[in-house]
Amino acid sequence: MVATSQTTGEGWSSRSAFILAAVGAAVGLGNIWRFPTLAGESGGGAFVIFYIACVFLLGLPLVLAEIFIGRVGQTDAVGSIRKVSQESKASPSWSIFGGVGAIAAFLIVSFYSVVAGWVLYYAGVMGLDLIQAIGAGEPFRGALAGESQEQIQQRLGDMFASPSLLLAMHFAFMGLTLYIVARGVSSGIEKAATYLMPMFFVLLVGLVIYGAIEGEIGDAMAFLFTPDWSKLTPQVMNSALGQALFSLSLGVAGLITYGSYIKEKSNLGSTAAMIAVADTSVALLAGLMIFPIVFAVGLDPAAGPTLVFQTLPFAFQTMPGGALFGFLFFVLILVAAVTSSISLLEVPTAWGIGERGWSRTKSALIFGIGAFLIGILCLLGYNVLSDVRPLGFWSLFENTDILDTVDGFTGKVMLPVGALLTSLFIGWKADTNLLRTTTGLSPLAFNIWRFLLAWLCPLAVTVILVTGLFPSIL
Ligand code: PHE
């Protein structure tokens, strides 16, 4: 590793551009796909409430911590942590957690692109359906007219059975991600977020209202918000913590990297709060969009990663204008996924630029292609390699296919470890004056923040991590 890092030399054009890009990074498949999947598998209410507590007590302080590191460092995660260490007279070895984060981001983007590929396929299916509807002179009809429930379900199974289809979609999505990252921060990433995120939000709210009218909103509310505390096992707590970190893009140094592109002085505290509130609202709205349909059509909430794809087509089928809204909605999930996947690929890419001196294009290509190859293994896990259990020797991952293993290992192990090290570093090692002046927090807010990072985060994360991973010690 070279001793000094180069700055990546880029910047956001304004504070609001940073907020949009950071919200864009936070809001993604984590909210629309991963949150409902885990909430369903974990039995609902207790998971959701514990997740919300994790977001605000552990996640929010960490969001601010990561943005702070990037703001001070002005370069890739490893170099930024090293800079904060220097200014705080702490050991430069702390920068290792930036490297661990970059590896986690690299692994996450590999399966993220596969799942986004499913969304892409559904966007394509709905797009063709919309064209047919328009051709038939019925542009406002429901989607997939005339298909039975079985046929709609069957499409999902057919998709998983076809490695070439999954591969083509994964290729297209990763290619797009790579292209945007290679073009750089303000020209690529910013533009995408500014126009499309607001549209996504409007459509999401519209679908929640539709679900409230047509679906079983009462059952969904009860499922999501009535806690049955007996369901809050150490494993459920571990996945709720992992989900809070995943959804806020924490523990992979993503916000360090994005924070490094902030140039001017700005109020980092309120920025962090906006990110946390926006992200959590979208996750809860996604739950309120999906579960009314789950209960209305009698699906199993614990269906797992396929849940979202099994439910949404039904809503669009019965909904007036469903062909149109269905197409739009999958396109917007794709947009949300792209603004997140670019932030993931950006972490190792910035590392290559800052620590290795590679050009942006070279760095993006190396990590983009590497993640693409790992993604291929993930998608083969749904067909050719469906018997493979990569961490099958570990009881926690005994029955877990390749994609779920990469997802579970990064989410349940790597992100909490990243979060733990971040909180220890900022809570104990970083220079207090530097923290005060850079974050611009009021004295009270500052003390609460530092306390949460120094005490609550390390203790809670350690307990949740250890008991979640090794339940036998309890
Ligand atoms: N937060 C993103 C999502 O919810 C995923 C992500 C994780 C993005 C880590 C960047 C870093 O989809």
Write the pLDDT tens digit of every residue in 128-171. 999 999 999 999 999 998 898 889 889 999 999 999 999 999 99
Enter the tokens of residue 364.
Answer: 């993006």
ipTM attached to this prediction: 0.98
Find out whether the beta carbon of 32 lies less than 6 Å from any atom of ligand 1.
no
Measured CA to CA, the distance from residue 144 to residue 317 in angstroms comes to 6
Distance 150 CA to ligand 1 centre (A): 33
pLDDT over threshold 80, residue 175: yes
pLDDT over threshold 80, residue 282: yes
Give the pLDDT of residue 103.
Answer: 96
How many C-beta atoms surround the C-beta of residue 416 within 10 A? 26
Determine the residue type at 353.
I
Among the ranges given (112-121, 256-265, 268-277), the one the predictor scored with the smallest mean pLDDT: 256-265
Q: Which ligand 1 atom lies nearest to the CA of residue 246?
A: 7
> Are 424 and 252 a contacting pair, CB within 8 Å?
no
pLDDT digits (tens, 9 = 90+) for 448-457: 999 999 999 9
Find out whether the beta carbon of 249 lies less than 6 Å from any atom of ligand 1.
yes
In a domain, 254, yes or no: yes
Find out whether the beta carbon of 247 lies less than 6 Å from any atom of ligand 1.
yes
In a domain, 10, yes or no: no
Distance 141 CA to ligand 1 centre (A): 34
Give the pLDDT of residue 233.
Answer: 93
Give the pLDDT of residue 4.
Answer: 46
Distance 27 CA to ligand 1 centre (A): 7
Find out whether the beta carbon of 29 lies less than 6 Å from any atom of ligand 1.
yes
Give the pLDDT of residue 16.
Answer: 77
Distance 313 CA to ligand 1 centre (A): 25
Measured CA to CA, the distance from residue 257 to residue 255 in angstroms comes to 5
pLDDT digits (tens, 9 = 90+) for 409-443: 999 999 999 999 999 999 999 999 999 989 989 99
Distance 290 CA to ligand 1 centre (A): 20
- Tell me, what DSSP letter sits at residue 100? H
pLDDT-based confidence at residue 2 (cuts at 50, 70, 90): very low
In a domain, 5, yes or no: no
| Domain count for the chain | 1
pLDDT over threshold 70, residue 361: yes
Residue scoring higher pLDDT (188 or 30): 30
Give the pLDDT of residue 3.
Answer: 39
In a domain, 415, yes or no: yes
Task: Note down the domain range covering 184.
Answer: 15-473
Enter the tokens of residue 185.
Answer: 């921060």
Q: Which ligand 1 atom lies nearest to the CA of residue 341?
A: 8
Distance 248 CA to ligand 1 centre (A): 6
pLDDT-based confidence at residue 243 (cuts at 50, 70, 90): very high
* Residue among 168, 187, 183, 197 at smallest CA distance from 338: 197
pLDDT digits (tens, 9 = 90+) for 106-133: 999 999 999 999 999 999 999 999 999 9
Among the ranges given (180-194, 306-320, 456-470), the one the predictor scored with the smallest mean pLDDT: 180-194
Nearest CA to ligand 1 atom 7: 249
Q: How far is CA 236 from the centre of its chain?
A: 18
Distance 246 CA to ligand 1 centre (A): 5
The predicted model gives 394-412 an average pLDDT of 89
Nearest CA to ligand 1 atom 9: 249
Nearest CA to ligand 1 atom 11: 249
In a domain, 41, yes or no: yes
Nearest CA to ligand 1 atom 6: 249
Q: Which ligand 1 atom lies nearest to the CA of residue 250?
A: 9
- B/e letters for 133-169, b = 16+ CB within 10 Å, e = fewer, are beeeeeeebbbbeeeeeeebbebbeebbebeebbbeb
Measured CA to CA, the distance from residue 159 to residue 162 in angstroms comes to 5
The preferred substitution site among 112, 248, 249, 252 for testing ligand 1, maximizing ligand atoms within 8 Å of CB, is: 249
Measured CA to CA, the distance from residue 173 to residue 344 in angstroms comes to 13
Give the pLDDT of residue 259.
Answer: 86
Q: Provide the whole-model pTM.
A: 0.91
Give the pLDDT of residue 5.
Answer: 52
Name the residue with tokens 């609460």.
448
Give the pLDDT of residue 1.
Answer: 34
Give the pLDDT of residue 8.
Answer: 58
CB-side neighbour CA atoms (13 Å) of 85: 19
Find out whether the beta carbon of 246 lies less than 6 Å from any atom of ligand 1.
yes
Nearest CA to ligand 1 atom 10: 249
Residue scoring higher pLDDT (371 or 269): 371
Give the pLDDT of residue 52.
Answer: 97
- B/e letters for 444-459, b = 16+ CB within 10 Å, e = fewer, are eebeebbebbbeebbe
Find out whether the beta carbon of 426 lies less than 6 Å from any atom of ligand 1.
no
Q: What is the mean pLDDT of the chain?
A: 90
Measured CA to CA, the distance from residue 389 to residue 374 in angstroms comes to 15
Give the pLDDT of residue 7.
Answer: 57
Find out whether the beta carbon of 31 lies less than 6 Å from any atom of ligand 1.
yes
Among the ranges given (44-53, 346-355, 391-400), the one the predictor scored with the smallest mean pLDDT: 391-400
Determine the residue type at 419.
A
Enter the tokens of residue 52.
Answer: 């919300």
Give the pLDDT of residue 189.
Answer: 64
In a domain, 8, yes or no: no
Find out whether the beta carbon of 28 lies less than 6 Å from any atom of ligand 1.
yes
Residue 129 belongs to a domain with what CATH number?
Answer: 1.20.1740.10
Give the pLDDT of residue 291.
Answer: 93
In a domain, 2, yes or no: no
Enter the tokens of residue 120.
Answer: 């892409």
Measured CA to CA, the distance from residue 383 to residue 241 in angstroms comes to 30
Distance 31 CA to ligand 1 centre (A): 9
CA dihedral 161, 165, 171, 172 (to 10 degrees): -130
Give the pLDDT of residue 6.
Answer: 55
* Residue among 79, 131, 107, 183 at smallest CA distance from 411: 107
In a domain, 9, yes or no: no
